[in-house]
Amino acid sequence: MMPSIPQSDAEWAALISNVESSVEVSEDQCALPSLDQQLAQYFDHTLLKLDATEEGIEKLCTEAKEHGFKTVCVRVNWVPKCKELLTGTDIGVACVIDFHEGTSTLQEKSEETKLAVAHGASELDLVLPRQFLTGDAEQYVTLYDHLNTIRTLAPSPTVLKIILETSQLSRSQIIAACTIAGFASFDFVKTSTGFCGRGASVDDVRLMRACSATLESQGFGCKKMAVKASGGIRTLKDTIEMIAAGATRLGASAGVGVMEEVNGRESKGGNAVAGGY
Ligand SMILES: O=C[C@H](O)COP(=O)(O)O
């Protein structure tokens, strides 16, 4: 059943307050993957620097093939090159939209979305237009309109993620953003851009997982959103903490280093991940 969409900021506020009072954050650990190939499939292998070069993009795609990462994550201008380099593989191309500040107009982000989809991006990571949550008054209707427009321009099976930049939001604002993303049928809520603030934290991931579970299971009518942790994930320890907290996707520029840690542990014997932590 499709959820019924609030029609005013006051209706949204009431709904969000209802969600907030239902959210129960759990410290239970989620199941960990046990094999390096499984672990590699958690990663969006990421190169988002503005000064990325063709050589850097070629290296990114070569590494993605070598380790079997889920996707490469790039800016829109590099999507065609990545599609070409990854032809014949199962590796997707994720494209960031309105990165990294989330301040473009709806028209601008719509054009970028259309371009990314036309170039063959399979996943889009849209930065939350934070001003609608953090201004003098919350503008939930406008925020929903932005997210819903992008969902309409990039229907399933394109995977849509909303990047919250959780370090810049309060607990209530994170819940509000998750709620609106859920009602706009996003597939993932994602913690951070990696370009502002501290990046992903275990507490943020737990809160987002709890919020998604509430929206799915407590009569709000949303489908389940997964959680992507991103920003500052540098080591196998960071990786395991994020997965244990509830992330099923990780955005990282350091995925190769993590896989090298895994391989180093395996060469010494024993299960690299589940046995090590
Ligand atoms: O979405 C991905 C982030 O930009 C990655 O950040 P990172 O360079 O800290 O791994």
The pLDDT confidence band at residue 269, using thresholds 50, 70 and 90, is low
CB atoms within 10 A of CB 208: 32
CA of 245 to the centre of ligand 1 (A): 18
CB atoms within 10 A of CB 139: 17
SS3 130: coil
> Does the CB atom of residue 163 touch ligand 1 within 6 A?
no
Determine the Cα–Cα distance for residues 245 and 165; give it in Å rounded to an integer: 17
> Does the CB atom of residue 225 touch ligand 1 within 6 A?
no
277, part of any domain:
no
Atom 1 of ligand 1, residue of closest alpha carbon:
251
pLDDT at site 120 = 98
276, part of any domain:
no
Amino acid at 175: I
Q: Determine what percent of the chain is predicted with pLDDT higher than 70.
A: 95
The alpha carbons of the chain give a radius of gyration, in whole angstroms, of 18
Do the beta carbons of residue 212 and residue 226 sit within 8 Å?
yes
pLDDT at site 203 = 98
Q: Kindly report the CATH number assigned to the domain that includes residue 68.
A: 3.20.20.70
The pLDDT confidence band at residue 273, using thresholds 50, 70 and 90, is low
pLDDT at site 35 = 64
Do the beta carbons of residue 187 and residue 71 sit within 8 Å?
no
Measured over the CA atoms of residue 13, residue 142, residue 164 and residue 124, the dihedral's sign is positive
pLDDT at site 1 = 62
For residue 101, pLDDT over 70 is answered with yes
pLDDT at site 274 = 53
The pLDDT confidence band at residue 265, using thresholds 50, 70 and 90, is confident
Mean pLDDT (the chain, rounded): 94
| Total count of domains within the chain | 1
Closest ligand 1 atom number to CA of residue 252: 10
pLDDT at site 264 = 87
Over range 147-173, report the average pLDDT: 98
The pLDDT confidence band at residue 3, using thresholds 50, 70 and 90, is confident
The pLDDT confidence band at residue 121, using thresholds 50, 70 and 90, is very high
Determine the Cα–Cα distance for residues 179 and 177; give it in Å rounded to an integer: 5
Determine the Cα–Cα distance for residues 245 and 243; give it in Å rounded to an integer: 5
CA of 101 to the centre of ligand 1 (A): 14
pLDDT at site 29 = 95
68, part of any domain:
yes
Atom 8 of ligand 1, residue of closest alpha carbon:
253
98, part of any domain:
yes
Residue 197 sits in which domain range?
Answer: 9-19+29-267
pLDDT at site 268 = 72
Q: What residue has token string 């934070």?
A: 130
229, part of any domain:
yes
Cα–Cα separations (whole angstroms), residue 168 to 101, 172, 186, 192:
12, 12, 21, 9
Over range 207-234, report the average pLDDT: 96
pLDDT at site 237 = 95
pLDDT at site 277 = 52
Residues 6+ apart with CB under 8 A from 205: 191, 227, 229, 242, 245, 246, 247
Given 49, 83, 190, 268, the catalytic residue: 190
Over range 42-62, report the average pLDDT: 98
For residue 50, pLDDT over 70 is answered with yes
3, part of any domain:
no
The pLDDT confidence band at residue 192, using thresholds 50, 70 and 90, is very high
2, part of any domain:
no
Ramachandran region, residue 40 (left: φ > 0; alpha: ψ -120 to 50; beta: rest): alpha
129, part of any domain:
yes
